[in-house]
Amino acid sequence: MNVVRISILALALVAAGVAAFLVRGLMAENQRQATVTASAPVIETVGVLVAGRVINPGETVRSGDLRWQQWPRTAVTEGQITETVQPNARSDYQGSVARRLFSSGEPVVPGALVQPGTAGLMAALVSPGMRAMAVSVSDENSAGGFILPGDRVDVVVTRETGEDRSSRSYVSETVLYNVRVLAIDQVFDEDVSGGAMVGDTITLELTPGQSETLALAQAIGDVSLALRSFADSMAQEGDDTTPEFLTAGAQSNSQITVVRNGLETRVRVQGGGR
């Protein structure tokens, strides 16, 4: 056997060895990938209703404030709202009021959102430390629809002075400043279509001291609500000091005067006596 043939045979053996090594490595890699693929668990997910933004206590849930987020089914806890159980939850909870703070992406639970017309709605609307106080008006003399939820008003009391008819005179004084209107009857939404509302009850958001002041004002004279401009609605509120004249006496047949856009409507308050 000459040198050429020996060289060709040696090269063939080396090539065969390299080919065998490459084939073996490729088969091992395919087997490893198949093993990894087979061992990787399949995670089943489900849509969970979460807050799409930061929602503060008392805020009304608007369109887009809630969204579905995929969660591992095993991580879903009792009480969370899932897309499989309540597919229309986003629209169902639109218009509800948050009872507590929600962070963006935090799961929503039914008890933390209060639907309109249900118990606990007004408590959710009232800011921490504040009180809701309703003023009733008669059916014959309604508020006329001149104020809306979300407006800011000053409370003015007009009282009679003088001890007899011959010396009768009247004085007026603003006793509360920049208080927020929470609701007209059971309507709390600021985006009221039509612009005007007719209701029997006006609910104001007050501090405890302001609540006492308003109660005294209704008893001692005629209470007027003066609508504030949007431009100065962020002005500082008045303090809780009760004007001295409010404790001097009480007058029955109290009335409320609602003023908006220069128009004045006087309505009789029920239960405004001593």
pLDDT (tens digit per residue) in 139-189: 433 345 667 888 888 888 888 776 666 667 888 888 888 888 888 777 766
Strands 45-51 and 263-268: unpaired
Q: Does residue 46 have a pLDDT over 80?
A: yes
**H or E stretch at 11:** helix 3-39
Q: Which of 172, 152, 157, 191 is nearest to 272 (CA)?
A: 157
Q: Does residue 34 have a pLDDT over 70?
A: no
Side-chain half-sphere of 217: how many Cα atoms within 13 Å? 28
Average pLDDT of span 70-89: 90
Dist CA 122 CA 203 (whole Å): 9
Per-residue tokens: 119: 């118990």
Radius of gyration of the chain (CA): 36
Dist CA 183 CA 199 (whole Å): 10
Share of the chain above pLDDT 90, in %: 12
**Alpha-carbon dihedral angle through residues 261, 230, 141, 204, given to the nearest 10 degrees:** -170
Q: Are 239 and 269 in contact (CB under 8 A)?
A: no
Place 107 in a pLDDT band, splitting at 50, 70 and 90.
Answer: very high
- The per-residue pLDDT for 252 is 47
Share of the chain above pLDDT 70, in %: 58
Average pLDDT of span 202-206: 87
List CB contacts of 239: < 8 A, sequence separation 6 or more: 209
- The per-residue pLDDT for 142 is 38
- The per-residue pLDDT for 65 is 92
Per-residue tokens: 186: 């059971």
Average pLDDT of span 246-270: 55
Average pLDDT of span 239-252: 55
Place 272 in a pLDDT band, splitting at 50, 70 and 90.
Answer: very low
List CB contacts of 258: < 8 A, sequence separation 6 or more: 143, 144, 146, 147, 202, 224, 225, 264, 265, 267
Which domains does the chain carry? 45-123 (3.90.1210.10), 128-268 (no CATH)
DSSP at 167? G
Q: Which of 156, 192, 177 is nearest to 233 (CA)?
A: 177
DSSP at 83? T
pTM over 0.85? The answer is no
Dist CA 89 CA 31 (whole Å): 46
Average predicted confidence (pLDDT) for the chain: 74
